[in-house]
Amino acid sequence: MTTALNGSVRFVDLHAQIRSLQPALTEAVQAVLDRGDFILGKDVELFEQEFAAYCGVPHAVGVDSGLSALELALRALRVGPGDEVITQANTFIASVGAILAVGARPVLVDCDGDGVIRPGAVRAALTPRTRAIMPVHLFGRICDIEAIMAVADGAGVPVVEDACQAHGALLNGRRAGSFGIASAFSFYPAKNLGAFGDGGMLVTTSREVADTVRQLRNYGQKTKYQHVSLPLNHRLDTIQAAVLRVKLPHLDGWNARRQYLADAYREHLEGLPIRIAPADAEGRHVYHLFVIESEQRDRLRDALQARRIETGIHYPAPLHLQVALKDLGYPAGAFPTAERLAAESLSLPMYPEMALAQVELVAEGIRAALAG
Ligand SMILES: *Cc1c(COP(=O)(O)O)cnc(C)c1O
């Protein structure tokens, strides 16, 4: 456990994982160079099949980012101007970006004290214009999706899961992405399953949605140069698919390691005046992020930085207080829980190759800062 322990702790470090997968990664990329099928090549098709099987859904369509997967899901469901889509105030801006991209209006709701979107808040936000619900499995924990599906079914509205932080997460034996009619994954490098650049995947239970998104990602083509729908380019690169095919068989092992490290954090932070959302009882949280809450968040962050321990904040402002979204017209105070979490949340270092001794260093730093 003494390797790479010079006392500093990176927030995320991808080097060890890349090294551990050599020479397979280099061979996979070289095979693409040899074949030359850079656009919608063999690895894209195979990775789509493998990822669909992994998620337990019949269809998967590779795209160029998580944002594109969300946007194309909404387009395939014919959500557009005049429509409303419900999502949460405490998330990454991509969820709302996809809604705005199709010309619809994002309707935000507050979360509970653990940062999870509440089915009751979703029900209260329904209007005759609601055309989709987009819950987020934030930080790697599946939200209360079964109750949200019941609200959605009652209203006759489709659910698009934002599973961009939840590759492999489980709830009652089902994977993230297998509940709604369509779901989006991101392969941004630091995600639990990451490419060497941008990439994303739309998974769906609907053949019609899959076919529509296949067309939309590739210039609206039905057959070569027969453009029958909106001509966009949102294809997943073959090289990225080749890399992701090497990584996918390791995902469950990496997620198990994240759970082990999260348990270690909980144990080492026990008794301190901080809040940690409880471990998920019915499901398997995959800890894309390990987040604590403290009223002294900024002081804590500075104290850790002084020990060369990197941390993150997810996210420093809820969506309704972002400059880019001020036209939505939500005032400060509109979503008090999301606002409090933005002020108090601190994300601790978390990646599968992290050493247990590094968890102990982080915990020691927090203990010292709170004592001082
Ligand atoms: C990463 C992320 C996205 C978008 O993914 P990109 O691939 O960066 O477009 C969307 N939603 C959430 C919650 C994310 O964390």
HEC secondary structure over 287-320: CCCEEEECCCHHHHHHHHHHCCECCECCCCCCHH
pLDDT(359) > 60: yes
Q: How far is CA 152 from CA 14, 85, 107, 240, 282, in A?
A: 39, 12, 15, 34, 21
Cα–Cα distance, 76 to 199 (Å, whole number):
19
At 5 the pLDDT is 54
Pocket test for ligand 1, best of 65, 92, 137, 138 (most atoms within 8 A of CB): 92
Atom 6 of ligand 1, residue of closest alpha carbon: 66
At 3 the pLDDT is 45
User: Span 4-21, mean pLDDT?
Assistant: 89
User: Span 300-312, mean pLDDT?
Assistant: 98
Cα 165 to ligand 1 centroid, rounded to whole Å: 7
Domain ranges for the chain, please list them: 17-249, 250-371
User: Span 291-305, mean pLDDT?
Assistant: 98
Q: Which CATH class is domain 250-371?
A: alpha beta
At 279 the pLDDT is 83
Each residue's pLDDT tens digit, 148-206: 999 999 999 999 999 999 999 999 999 999 999 999 999 999 999 999 999 999 999 99
Minimum-distance ligand 1 atom for the alpha carbon of 68: 9
The CATH number that domain 17-249 falls under is 3.40.640.10
Each residue's pLDDT tens digit, 115-146: 999 999 999 999 999 999 999 999 999 999 99
At 321 the pLDDT is 97
At 54 the pLDDT is 98
Locus of tokens 């790697």: 140
- Residue 291: which of 349, 222, 252 has the closest Cα? 349
Residues in contact with ligand 1 (CB, 6 Å cut-off): 65-67, 91-92, 94-95, 136, 162, 164-165, 186, 188, 198, 200
pLDDT(57) > 80: yes
**17-249 against 250-371: fold identical:** no
Mean pLDDT value across the chain: 96
Each residue's pLDDT tens digit, 232-287: 999 999 999 999 999 999 999 999 999 999 999 999 999 999 999 988 777 899 99
